[in-house]
Each structure stands twice: as structure tokens, then as C-alpha cells.
Structure 1
Amino acid sequence: MFSLQNTLSFSQNLPQITTLENGLKILTLENHTAPIVVFMVWYKVGSRNEHTGITGISHLLEHMLFKSTKNYPKGAIDKILRKNGASFNAMTGEDLTVYYEIIASDRVETAIKIEADRMKNAKLTENELKPELTVVKSELEIGENQPQFLLYREVRASAYTTHPYRWSVAGCKEDILNVTPKKIKTYYNTYYHPNNATVIIVGDFERDAMIKLIKKYFGNIKRGPDIPKVISVEPEQKGEKRIVLKGEGNASHIAVAYHIPEITHPDIYPLEVLNKVLSSGETSRLYKRLVIGNLAATFYTDVEKRIDPGLFGILATARTGVELSKIENAFYEEIEKIKKEGITDEEFKKVIAKTSAGYFYDKDSIVSLAFALGEAEVMSSYKYYLDYLENLRKVTIEDVKRVCEKYLQDVNRTTGYFTPIKPKEEREELESPF
């Protein structure tokens, strides 16, 4: 038994945390294998922090923060980073928003300056907001034309009754189109503060010099007020929910979701093992049953790891001519087998070996490592990532059977079907009397 923390210590220093007086947390991890640095700023804000009327605003704000700031006119951030050879982007999730640069270590100061200015000096003007609303609206419409996205969005909205996880990160089109400069500035001024952010920096640098450089640009930013707490608690589901969607498409899809606990709950680890036994690789139970069994063309399962309780989900696309009920029943039959018989020792060992190999591989990439540490720190603690394998190895076969029985119950389930109808043009042609 050994943890990833022990493995890391053989080849590099362990991550170190420094907290500035304004509350900014800085996680540093030196890796001198190449003259590259990954610089990230993670904000503990996402769709979880939204409410009806402003859904999608976290994602919209992420887009807007590539526009102008006090010290960078429109287009300058993109131009300067490209000129310095940086790869850069941003991402919004349910619990977080992250901005990052992958840049030569001797040019990292450029990224630090930009991110510090982005934290407090965004202009968020109406002239910049209007075209961005069009872009985000277009993204939403693309998603709405993808049956799988549409189905899982509706399953999520049905599974959750009160918690903000019930809406997608992209938000509701009506809410997005009604965002004003005042609304987005209020949201920005509520959540974009050093005391709601964590800097993650991994790569070729010297720690003391890097902390000094970060202090130079972030240290004078004032601490913000306390961040509003998300107080919504999703009530226990008391019975199965089912939805049926029909729309234009070429295939039928099924989605099934079960409520599971938050990332810090110990049951997450046996749920991860259960998930991998069901779906990881061509020898997994569902691959053999659904794909080799000619029921599904593709399928995907996931254990959501969230700050608040998430979902265990499966999404499958039926082969032509296969009824969705056959896929649904096959899935439930495999679940019942595990509830009655458990998983085999061979399956368990295979999951641990495959997961271990993936983690050891990922740690060799400073980009993968920075993302893993950042996500863990925002959702729980960076130690969640370091100790992940050790905690996974503590799982027993009995634990997997127990969580399957506890969480994958019909009363805790939301099931959705998407069945295609002919495209509008074909329908009109068929309905025409001429």
C-alpha cells in the first residue's frame, strides 16, 4: 500500500500552500523537467452559486473576462499571450471557474500580471456584453440541437428539485439574454476576490521567487466580503422519476441518474470502483452487455464528484431498431447481479491496477497534475488527489456491494428517454397533400 503522495515525493517536492494576507491561497509544485510553467487561477464559483434569473452567468462572465480590463484594451490579452507563446483558456463548471496559461518559465510574469488584472479590473461594458450574448446564445442552441445533451439536461432538472445543480452550466437562454452590465458586474464583484481564489502553479520555477512575484501583482488586491454560502439542500428523493423527450435526431438515447453523496464522503471511493467495474474497458460488464450484446452503439457512465451531492449517471445510444427498454432492463439486471453477488476479486484488482497506471501517467504531465490539484483544492483539498489511490485501495469488495445496494435504488432514480422524430422538412413533405 502506498499513496500518490509517497510516489510524488520520490521525484519532486510535495505541493506547498501559502496564503496571503488578503486570503489568496497559492499552491506551488516545482518540476524542473522542462522550462515550462502552468499558471492557474481557480475561483470557487460556478453554476452552483446561481439562482433563477441569472442561470448561466458564471459561464458568461468567463467569456467576458477575455475582453477589456483597466490595463488591457479589448483583444490585448489574447494578443500578448500569443506573442509570448502561451497556450491559454478558461473553463466553468458547477463548482468552479478556472483561467490558465501554459507558458515558458521565463515569461510567466506576463501571465501573472494578466490574471491579477482580470481579478479586479474587468470593464464589463455593454458594448462588449452584447456580442458575447450572441455567442453564448449560439452555444446554447447548438447544445439544444444535440439530443444527448438535451436529454441529460432534462434528467438533471428532474432529478434535482431545489439545488442549483438542477440547471446546466450553460444556463437558461431566457436568463442569459436578460443579463445586463449591472447584473454581471454585481456577480463579478461578489465572487472575484482573492479570498475566493486559489493560484495553482506547477513547473520550472523557484518557489520563494515565485511567491514574491505573485505577491507583487496580487498582494495589493483587497480582500473581499465573505462569499455568500449556498444553503440549498436537496431533499431525499422518494420515488422514481421518468421523462420522455421527442425531437429531431437520428438515434434513440437513454439516461439514468442516481443521487450520490458529495466528494468528501467516503462512499465516493467504492462508487468509483463500481463505476469502473461497470464501464471501464472492453471487459467491463456494461460494455459486454450493451455493446458486444448489440444493444447500444455507445454508452458512458460517470460518478460526479461535487462539493454538494452529485449524480451517478449512465447515458447510452441505442443501436438502430433496439428499444430503449431493452437497454434499460439490461442495465438494471447488471446492477441487481452486483447487489446479489458482488463483484469478483479479479474485477476489483483490474480496476485498482488500471486506475493506478492512469494516475502515475497523469502525474508525469505538469498540465494534468496542475488541473488535478486545482480541482481537488477547490472542491475539497489538494490532499484529496494526493491520497486518492491510497483511499481507493482501502475499498473492499463488500463496500462496492454495499454502495450499489444503498444508492442504486429505483426510488433514488431518474430515467429519461429520447426518441427521434423525422426532421421538420421530411414531416412537412409527408403531410403535404400534393
Structure 2
Amino acid sequence: MRRLLPLLLLLLGTALPAAAAAPTPASDAFPYTLHTDTLPNGLTVVRVPYPSRGIIAYVTVVRVGSRNEVEPGRTGFAHFFEHMMFKGTKTHPEGDRERILGNFGYDDNAFTTDDITLYYSYGPTAGLPQLIEIEADRFRNLEYSQPSFQTEALAVLGEYHKNAAAPFLKMEEELNAAAFTRHTYQHTTMGFYKDIQAMPQAYDYSRTFFERWYTPDNTLLFIIGDFDDAKVMELVRQHYGPWDRKAAQVSVPAEPPQKGPRTAHIDWPQPTQPRQVIAWRTPGAGTSPVDAAIQTLLVDYLAGPTSPAYKTLVLDKQLVESIGSDYSEHRDPHLFTLTATLKDERHRNTVRKTLLQEVSRLAAGRVDAARLKAIQDHARYGALMALETPRDVGIQLGWYAGVTGSPDGFQRHLQSLPKVTPAQLSDFAKRYLTANKLILLSLTPKTDAQGGTK
């Protein structure tokens, strides 16, 4: 009889209660409590009470990004589909959603990364019942015509052309191509250019992509702010409960070990400043939270304003406009980078050697423990100070949950930061920031008539 009960309830139209996890309490690392439930269909629903009278943030994270695009000729669809998710349904045709949410004054947007697609709405609690209904409807019942699809595909192509006018997209493409020979991180979130050009002919595949990845068991919902929890969960069960698709299972190719240094170079056809990127393939946050915390701290330790490299290259010798890192958390092993925007091409070797020398000192065990402690305190303080609104909280929670697969991924990251020791920092550099794993990318711009690069 127990085995038949779920089926009987389903046939009678009665939803099973959500499975509730014990609340994740507030702590010094993260000052807000997470209430997490999982619906029978697999949707994870996290509510976070926040002292924002009459205001809420509504964040939906789908664990799909360019990482999931394993089929040849089908790159860029995660980003493209972010656009299509605003096209409407039979209940709310295109434009209806924007009209309703606009009347309430919601700020509404989305973004796509290598690993996740995140949607957020931010506005008055008074509109939350309508927002829940509208969001559940589009995630369950998205509709769009082939002409609408083709128009948006051309818009995405235009977005690529706009981004390609600056050096950053080309640099990302060339660095990924040098670093990854098999893994889907080889292509950017935008996708390969030839695949973007072919998108208008991929209407049928787009419907497959929606059914494959926009599923409750591949999605996490975060509601942050001022709301009645019981009423919210009643509405969530009502509108999201019938959502019954299951996420696809695909095999993301593992990247083989790198056996020696690699290089890539870009001759940029327009005047700009020379660029240098130094990169190594390092563990992902999805598999190693401690290594993710180490890399977060390494950004400031090696290239931050208190680093010797910054003092030498930016302040004293003034050889670069800036140094930094493009590191961000990923599900799978990705890249730790050091970046420099040079003032003159003649200083490239000096800049590269200076940065690599700092890495060598670190690997040799020469760690400034006091400076590391200051960076850890600053990282924690900065992360907490950045949580100024429910939207800030929701996006941070959603980002880390999407990457790690855990609703409390952000809290675990914050808890890991102060626990990193000087020995761990040195050991990480010794294991991963090595010569045989090195990838060097250089960009040399076209010079002007006077020989300058500006």
C-alpha cells in the first residue's frame, strides 16, 4: 500500500509534500538562514528571510552552460536559450510577462556562464504571487515560433560581432583553444562562430535543448527577502509541482593531462594596449571547494594591490596599466590566470618574468603569512559587505549553488576562506602552477603611424 500511495495521490491530483531539509542556520560566515525544500519532481526551493521590508529577489538557476554542449555544431545554445526564455507561453504570450512585471516595477534580467544560466527578478513582495505563476509557466511551457527563433538567432550573431570588436572575446577563444583539447570548456559561452551562424536552421534542436535541460531536477529556486514562507511554498507547489521532465545525462569529455607548456598569440588588427595572460589548468570548485578558496585568495596574493608584483610593475616601474586575474569558479577543472595590460610591447618579457618569479617564490614556500591573513580578512569582509540587497544575496547563492550543486555552496566557500594555511597556498602552487602546465597567451596590437599602440 505504501508503494501505491504516491501513484494514488498523483491520480487524485494531490501533490506530495516537499522534502524539507534542516535549515542552514546563520553564522559568522553567512548571516542569513537558508530554508531548503525539495519538491517530489526534484526542484530545490531555498527561502532566505532578509530584512528588506516589502522587497524580494527571485532567482532561478539552471545547471546548464557551455559545459553541457557536447554535440558538434551545437555550441552556444545555453546562452542562446537564455534569450528564448523571454519569448512567452500560450498563457502569457510574448510581452505579457514584461507588462505584468513592469507594472509592479520589477528589475528583471539573466546571464549565462560556462556552467549555469541564472534568471533573477527583483522588486515588491506584493507581486510575488503573480511572479511565481509567471515564472513556473515559462519554465514548464515555453513557446516560440520558428520566425521568432530565427530573429533571435540573428540577434545573438549581432551580439557576437559586437563582442568581437574588442580583444577580450578573441583572447578567451584562443586561450580556451590552447588549454582544452577535449573538454567542452574549449568553446566560450557564446559558442564557435560557425555554430552561431548556423543557429537559424536549428529550430527543432532548440526544442530538444529545452526539454533536455530545463527540468526541475536541474534547477534551483531562491527566494530572498520579505515574504510569508507558508504562502510562498503553497504557491510554489501549486505552480511548479506539475513540472515533470527529467534532465538528460550526457558525458562531458575529460581533459587529458597537459604534458608541457603551450603558447598562443594574437596579432590584433587595431590599435590597443598589449596584453599578456599566464594560465594553468587547476581544480574546479565543483569537485574541490578548498582548492577553489585557495585560488580566490591567490588572485590577491599574486596580483592584488598588496602584492610585490603590483608594487613593482604598477607603482614603481610603471610597466603595466594593470595586473589581475580572470579566475572564476567552474564545475570542472578550468584555469587560474594572471593577466597584465602592458604600456609597451618592449616590457613583455620583464612583466612575464616578474609574475612567474612570484609564483616560484610561492611554490618554494616563501609565503607572507601576515599578508595572507590580511587578504583572508578582506575577502570575508568584502563578501559580506557585497550582500547589500536581496538580489546580491540571491545571485551569490545561485552562482555557487549552480557550480557546486549544493544550495549552501556559497556558505561553504566563505567558511573555507579563513581556513587556508600558508602551507596549503604553497603546496597548491607547487602542484598546479608548474612549468609543464603553463599556457602563455600574448596579444600584440597594430601600431599607429607614430609607432604607438594607443
Q: Same fold (TM over 0.5)?
A: yes
Using the alignment, how far apart are the partners of 1:5 and 1:295 within structure 2? 45
Using the alignment, how far apart are the partners of 1:95 and 1:354 within structure 2? 27
Given candidates 50, 73, 83, the residue that maps to 1:31 is: 50
Post-superposition Cα deviations, 1:122-178, rounded to whole Å, max 9, x if no partner, equal 223221122212211111112222113311221112101100011100112211222
Partner of 2:261: 240
Partner of 2:381: 357
Given candidates 235, 240, 253, the residue that maps to 1:218 is: 240
Partner of 1:298: 322
Post-superposition Cα deviations, 1:104-129, rounded to whole Å, max 9, x if no partner, equal 01111222122112112222322112
Query: Which moves more between the two structures, 42-51 or 340-349?
Result: 340-349
Partner of 1:418: 443
Given candidates 239, 246, 250, the residue that maps to 1:229 is: 250
Structure 1 residues 8, 288: CA separation in 2 closer, same or farther (over 3 Å shift)?
Answer: closer
| CA contact 1:86–1:103 (8 Å) conserved in 2 | yes
Partner of 1:393: 418
| CA contact 1:295–1:318 (8 Å) conserved in 2 | yes
Q: Secondary structure at the match of 1:89?
A: strand
Post-superposition Cα deviations, 1:324-346, rounded to whole Å, max 9, x if no partner, equal 22221111111112222422122
RMSD: 2.1
Q: How does 1:364-403 map to 2 (within 5 A)?
A: 364-380=388-404, 381-403=406-428
Q: Return the letter of the residue paired with 2:370.
A: E
Structure 1 residues 321, 359: CA separation in 2 closer, same or farther (over 3 Å shift)?
Answer: closer
Structure 1 residues 342, 302: CA separation in 2 closer, same or farther (over 3 Å shift)?
Answer: farther
Using the alignment, how far apart are the partners of 2:81 and 2:168 within structure 1? 26
Q: Secondary structure at the match of 2:27?
A: helix
Task: Report how far residue 226 of structure 1 moved.
Answer: 4.1
| CA contact 1:156–1:167 (8 Å) conserved in 2 | yes
Partner of 2:187: 167
Using the alignment, how far apart are the partners of 2:148 and 2:236 within structure 1? 29
Q: How does 1:33-432 map to 2 (within 5 A)?
A: 33-51=52-70, 52-179=72-199, 180-222=202-244, 224-249=245-270, 250-263=272-285, 264-265=287-288, 266-280=290-304, 282-292=305-315, 293-380=317-404, 381-422=406-447
Q: Secondary structure at the match of 1:6?
A: coil
Q: Return the letter of the residue paired with 2:232.
A: M
The number of residue pairs the alignment matches comes to 419
Q: Secondary structure at the match of 1:303?
A: coil
Q: Return the letter of the residue paired with 2:97.
A: I
Post-superposition Cα deviations, 1:265-285, rounded to whole Å, max 9, x if no partner, equal 1322223222221123x2223
Q: Return the letter of the residue paired with 1:295.
A: L
Q: TM-score normalized by structure 1? A: 0.91
| CA contact 1:124–1:185 (8 Å) conserved in 2 | no
Task: Report how far residue 386 of structure 1 moved.
Answer: 1.5
Task: Report how far residue 8 of structure 1 moved.
Answer: 7.0
Using the alignment, how far apart are the partners of 1:287 and 1:351 within structure 2? 15
Structure 1 residues 353, 309: CA separation in 2 closer, same or farther (over 3 Å shift)?
Answer: same
Post-superposition Cα deviations, 1:351-387, rounded to whole Å, max 9, x if no partner, equal 1110121122133432121111112222222333223
Post-superposition Cα deviations, 1:242-271, rounded to whole Å, max 9, x if no partner, equal 011112232211112111112131322223
Q: Secondary structure at the match of 1:7?
A: coil
Runs of 4+ in 1 over 3 A off after TM superposition: 320-323
Partner of 2:34: 15
| CA contact 1:5–1:386 (8 Å) conserved in 2 | no
Query: Which moves more between the two structures, 104-113 or 84-93?
Result: 104-113
Using the alignment, how far apart are the partners of 1:33 and 1:89 within structure 2? 20
Task: Report how far residue 93 of structure 1 moved.
Answer: 0.8
Name stretches of at least 5 consecutive residues in structure 1 with no aligned partner.
427-434
Q: TM-score normalized by structure 2? A: 0.87
| CA contact 1:202–1:370 (8 Å) conserved in 2 | yes
Aligned sequence identity (%): 25
